[in-house]
């Protein structure tokens, strides 16, 4: 995700000289420096020192360690902090960094790699309008952004858009496999399933109609689409989606609870 943000910022006109990255693996540092022309560091404090915006793009399991080590520098520099770690609350991060900091919690998703991401954002009370604008510029470089007032809803955002690409890929896999079982060559099934889902998503974004309205447009009474949708309904498709989203939401809350205070 950090690579996606770097790439998006550079595409949108950000100067490579304004970006510094900390990466513990030497080979990854070389790739970042050569691929993007940015400064790379092995030490977090070296990369963060003097920066107005810190982006915490690490696994939730190591965020406590990263933040506590950076706390003295955070208190001195008072940066705007952006975290993309799933499940870790903003008050936890702020406390680990020493407190009294402007902090935004974000949940982007993997299509950000293509500039087609969807990101939910929550700001604490210390983030001003200029800070929000900066965060929108950073995350807007890789897709669309939505502000969430109630941080508790970020677990739902994680379950919906953060994990959502995996649900989509699962559907495409299932469509492909079903078509192969009915005799289509796998490459044909894969191409048709992928393009169909791509085209449907584009229609949903560009047409202006709701998903329900678009579904009704392509569903003729007694037709093939209606037959398939009836089987989805009989199999409890909507309930299964709701249960799955609830399971992912609960897991997001559990990650927060498990985080070391």
What is the distance between the alpha carbons of residues 137 and 129, in angstroms, rounded to a whole number? 12
- Which residues partner with 80 through β-bridges? 53
| CATH number 3.40.50.720 given to 2-156 | yes
For residue 58, the model assigns a pLDDT of 93
In the CATH hierarchy, which top-level class contains the domain 164-256?
A: mainly alpha
Q: Where do runs of H (alpha helix) occur along the chain?
A: 2-11, 26-36, 44-48, 60-77, 90-96, 129-140, 154-157, 164-181, 186-207, 211-217, 224-234, 237-258
Cite the residue boundaries of each domain of the chain with CATH code 3.40.50.720: 2-156
Mean pLDDT by 10 residues, the chain (261 residues): 91 94 95 95 96 94 95 97 92 96 95 93 97 96 96 93 95 97 98 96 95 96 96 96 95 75 58
For residue 252, the model assigns a pLDDT of 80
What is the distance between the alpha carbons of residues 231 and 235, in angstroms, rounded to a whole number? 6
For residue 259, the model assigns a pLDDT of 66
Task: Pick the closest to residue 121 from 55, 201, 209 (CA basis).
Answer: 55
What is the distance between the alpha carbons of residues 20 and 18, in angstroms, rounded to a whole number? 7
Cite the residue boundaries of each domain of the chain with CATH code 1.10.3730.10: 164-256
């Amino acid at each position: 995700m950090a690579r996606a943000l770097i790439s998006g910022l550079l595409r949108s006109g950000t100067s490579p000289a304004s970006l510094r990255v900390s990466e513990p693996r030497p080979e990854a540092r070389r790739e970042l420096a050569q691929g993007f022309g940015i400064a790379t560091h092995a030490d977090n404090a070296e990369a963060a020192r003097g920066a107005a915006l810190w982006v915490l793009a690490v696994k939730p399991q190591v965020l406590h360690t990263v933040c506590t080590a950076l706390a003295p520098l955070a208190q001195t520099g008072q940066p705007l902090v952006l975290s993309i770690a799933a499940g870790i609350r903003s008050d936890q991060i702020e406390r680990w960094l020493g407190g009294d900091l402007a902090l935004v919690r974000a949940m982007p998703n993997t299509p950000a790699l293509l500039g087609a991401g969807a990101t939910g954002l929550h700001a604490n009370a210390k983030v001003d309008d200029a800070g929000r604008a900066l965060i929108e510029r950073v995350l807007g470089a890789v897709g669309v952004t939505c502000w969430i007032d109630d941080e508790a809803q970020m677990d739902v955002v994680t379950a919906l858009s953060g994990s959502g690409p995996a649900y989509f890929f699962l559907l495409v896999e299932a469509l492909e496999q079903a078509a192969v079982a009915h005799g289509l060559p796998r490459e044909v099934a894969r191409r048709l399933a992928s393009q169909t889902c791509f085209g449907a998503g584009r229609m949903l974004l560009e047409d202006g109609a709701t998903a329900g309205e678009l579904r009704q447009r392509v569903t003729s009474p007694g037709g093939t689409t209606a037959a398939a949708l009836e089987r989805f309904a009989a199999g409890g498709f909507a309930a299964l989606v709701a249960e799955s989203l609830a399971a992912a939401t609960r897991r997001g809350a559990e990650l927060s609870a498990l985080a070391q205070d």
